[in-house]
Structure 1
């Protein structure tokens, strides 16, 4: 699977990316650093930022 950016991200801008098969997040400015996250924690994060 590939890393996905939000459809709301502008082309070439810095953003958080998601990869489902790794259950991880990363900053597009530092793609070598990944933050593992559980599905429930990710859902909670999304609920809080919406």
Structure 2
């Protein structure tokens, strides 16, 4: 059994079987739990001043 949260009731954990889990994933109905180990997204690279001058 798997404990998941759905988009229909994100505040409630539900136990589902393997087949139900697969169906919910295919339908996009699972709430993505934030991973504690994932790093935050990197900031976009700054455009160097020389490149900005070429755009003008």
Larger radius of gyration: 2
Which bin holds the TM-score, normalised by the shorter protein? Answer: 0.3 to 0.5
TM-score by length of 2: 0.32
Normalised TM-score (structure 1): 0.35
The structure with higher relative contact order (CA 8 Å, sep 6+) is: 2
